[in-house]
Amino acid sequence: MQVAVSGASGFVGSALAGALADAGHEVTALTRRPEQYRGVGDPVGFDISDPSTLPAALEGQDVVYYLVHSLAKVDFSGEDRLGAEAFASAATDAGLTQVIYLGGLGDSADDLSEHLRSRREVESILLAGAPTTALRAGLVIGDGGISWEILRQLVERLPVMITPRWVQTRTQPISLGDALAALVGVLGRDEAVGETYEIGGPDVLTYRSMMETAARVMGRHRLIVPVPFLSPRLSSHWLRLITDVDLQTARALIDSMTNEVVVHNHRIADLVGPASTSFAAAVEEALAARAARLERETGPRAAG
């Protein structure tokens, strides 16, 4: 099939482009800077904030993966809303047979964070306006993922962690490989159009247990002490000081960490099979991928 990936320069998008090409599809990489793109697929200019770029970008495509998210911007929910509305209209005009969207897990009955509410709003807009298949995921564990990088850097840099209460929140992480299998697995499935699926790995864990497992895999002993006085706002500044994530992204992610994100609907297994990679195995894969990337970029000493 002729398949386009929006956000092809991002963490999931770049890996997905490669997986689609390996599966035999013709891949178009939709990106704001096609002249700088060096990944898999033919680069085509695409800027969701400029609707005039959409018709040409979608022309000739059968399916488009919608992986756009403006998390680092102050009014990310407003920009994501406008972008989804413009994209749904353009997708219908282009005659796409399927739009595949990756959103976020979270129980709609909860008081969802602005980040998760925005993901859910985009999902609703796409489902109502285009032939869409929506997948919901929590943390995707792989080299380059923002949430995984936060976790890795905390474990790597802090022998003793005075942590916020959200470390007790339950989540259901999924390995990058299992997420890609689900994303590719729903491609071209007529029965998946108009449906929403939840994806997650086999382990339901708290953030604390994820950090403890990651520390064990990395061969480090870490003392984690949750305290009640670290508010979400203070937590975001704490993350900004300890990790490389910018403050706006840290605030949005911290707010979401107070919401439990676990799979309640397992229907995706009927289409693509269950996700089988444990969290510990996903950590090992992410660390190995990082070491290989650093060795390619800067040589064996930096990788170690």
Q: What is the pLDDT of residue 247?
A: 61
- For the cut 70, the answer to whether the pLDDT of residue 231 exceeds it is no
pLDDT level of residue 74 (50, 70, 90 thresholds): low
Structure tokens that stand for 176 in this block: 């990058």
Are 166 and 255 in contact, with CB atoms under 8 Å apart? no
Q: How far apart are CA 253 and CA 135, in angstroms?
A: 19
Q: What is the pLDDT of residue 187?
A: 98
**Per-residue pLDDT reduced to its tens digit, 196-221:** 999 999 999 998 899 899 999 999 88
The candidate with the shortest Cα–Cα distance to 120, out of 130, 98, 139, 135, is: 135
Query: What average pLDDT does range 17-31 have in this prediction?
Result: 97
pLDDT level of residue 240 (50, 70, 90 thresholds): low
Query: DSSP alpha helices (H): ranges in the chain?
Result: 11-22, 54-58, 76-94, 114-129, 146-157, 176-185, 207-217, 232-242, 247-256, 268-272, 279-298, 300-303
Q: What is the pLDDT of residue 112?
A: 84
Topology of domain 2-205+257-300 in CATH is Rossmann fold (3.40.50)
The SS3 of residue 261 is: strand
Share of the chain above pLDDT 70, in %: 87
DSSP state of 199: -
Q: What are phi and psi of 29, to 5 degrees?
A: -95, 110
Beta strands at 205-206 and 170-171: parallel, antiparallel or unpaired: antiparallel
The candidate with the shortest Cα–Cα distance to 254, out of 264, 263, 246, is: 246
Straight-line distance from the first to the last Cα atom of the chain, in angstroms, rounded to the nearest whole number:
40
Q: What is the pLDDT of residue 290?
A: 94
Domain assignments of the chain as residue spans, ordered by start: 2-205+257-300
**Per-residue pLDDT reduced to its tens digit, 245-264:** 666 676 667 667 778 999 99
H/E stretch holding 140: strand 140-141
The structure's pTM equals 0.90
Q: What is the pLDDT of residue 73?
A: 62
**Per-residue pLDDT reduced to its tens digit, 273-297:** 999 999 999 999 999 999 999 998 8
Query: What average pLDDT does range 182-208 have in this prediction?
Result: 96
Query: DSSP alpha helices (H): ranges in 44-175?
Result: 54-58, 76-94, 114-129, 146-157
- Which residues lie below 8 Å from residue 251, measured CB to CB, with a gap of 6+? 232, 233, 236
DSSP percent split of the chain into helix, strand, coil, nearest 5: 50, 15, 35
pLDDT level of residue 160 (50, 70, 90 thresholds): confident
- For the cut 90, the answer to whether the pLDDT of residue 234 exceeds it is no
